[in-house]
Amino acid sequence: MPADDPIRKLALAALDADAQARALLSPEGARARVSFSDLYRYANDPGFVLAPELGARLAVDDAAQADLAHLLANGAFAHIPRQAAAASGAVERRETEKAVLVLTPSRAGAGEVYLSIELRDASARPPSQLFARKTGEAWQRLALPVFSDAQTQVLLDADAALARALADPETEVYLR
C-alpha cells in the first residue's frame, strides 16, 4: 500500500480520532500519548521528525514504545534480536540472514565509531531506517544513507545513545 494511500490516511485519522475521544474522557492520562498516526509516520517515513515535545513524551511512554515495537516488527527488512545471555562485552558485529552490522572505532580521534551495514541479498530493496532499543530504554532511530553496492556506512559519536545501544548485547535492532 503506497504511503499516500487515502484508505490508509483515513484509517490513521480514525485511530487518532478514537485516541482523542479517549483523551477527552481521561485528559490527564491521554495528554502523555503520542498519536498513532505520528508513530506510524515515525516508523515508516525517514523524513518525518517528531516535534521535540512529542519525542520527549515518546521516550517515557511505555505504551507508545510498545505500539512502536509492534509497528517496527510489522514489515521490517530485518530484525536482529538481543544477543545470547552468555554474550558479554561490547558488540562489534551483528549478523542475520538479511544483513551484517559492524561497529568499527574511528582512528580520527577518540569518541567516534563507524556503523557499517552490508546486505546479504545484493538485489534486495535496501532499508532506509535503523531502530535500536536497549532493554528497558526507549527506541533510537537512525535514517540510513543511500546504499551503494549493498553497503552503507554512518559515523556516530561513540557516546551517543544509539552508538551505546548498538554496542550493547542487550539491544535489539530493526532495519526497515
Partner 1 sequence: MSDAAVHVLTTEGPSRIQRIIEEAPSVRSVICLDGLTQILPVSPAYDAFVRRPAGVIERMSGHGAYRMDVSARIDEGQSWQLAAYIGHAAQLQGGTDVTVFATGEVDSHLAVRPVEHVDVKLAALARFLDTQDIDAEKAIIVVPDGGPETPARICGIAVQRVAGVAEALAFAGLDAPAEVGPIANDDGAAAKPARRRIPLFTVLGGAALLAAALFWAGGDFVRWSAMMGQGRVLDVETSLAEAGQDTFGHVRAAMFRTWLGLSRPASPVDIVGSLVVAREASACGDAARLDVRAVTSAFAAPGEICMAEFRAVGGVDDVVVGRLGYWPAGLGNGPRPARVMRGSGDVQGRKWTLEFKDLPQAGAAMRLVVIAGGVDISGPQPWYQDLLAAPLNSPVYEAARIRLARLGFTVTSLDWRRE
Size of the site for partner 1 (CB under 8 A): 27
- In the complex, the smallest distance separating the C-beta of residue 107 from partner 1, rounded to whole angstroms, is 5
- Name the residue with cell 505520528: 38
Q: Collapsing DSSP states into helix, strand and coil, what is residue 118?
A: strand
One residue of 83, 153, 161, 170 binding partner 1 per CB under 8 A: 153
Residue 67 near residue 36 (C-beta atoms within 8 A): yes
One residue of 1, 62, 97, 110 binding partner 1 per CB under 8 A: 97
Q: Considering the rule CB under 8 A, would residue 104 count as an interface residue with partner 1? A: yes
One residue of 18, 45, 157, 159 binding partner 1 per CB under 8 A: 157
One residue of 13, 56, 105, 159 binding partner 1 per CB under 8 A: 105
Report the alpha-carbon distance of residue 35 to residue 17 in Å, rounded. Answer: 9
Q: Collapsing DSSP states into helix, strand and coil, what is residue 47?
A: coil
Contact pattern from residue 131 through residue 150 relative to partner 1, giving x for each residue in contact according to CB under 8 A and a dash for the rest: --------------xx-x--
Report the alpha-carbon distance of residue 61 to residue 132 in Å, rounded. Answer: 16
- In the complex, the smallest distance separating the C-beta of residue 114 from partner 1, rounded to whole angstroms, is 5
Smallest CA-to-CA distance from 82 within 176, 142, 175, 166 is with: 166
Q: Considering the rule CB under 8 A, would residue 156 count as an interface residue with partner 1? A: yes
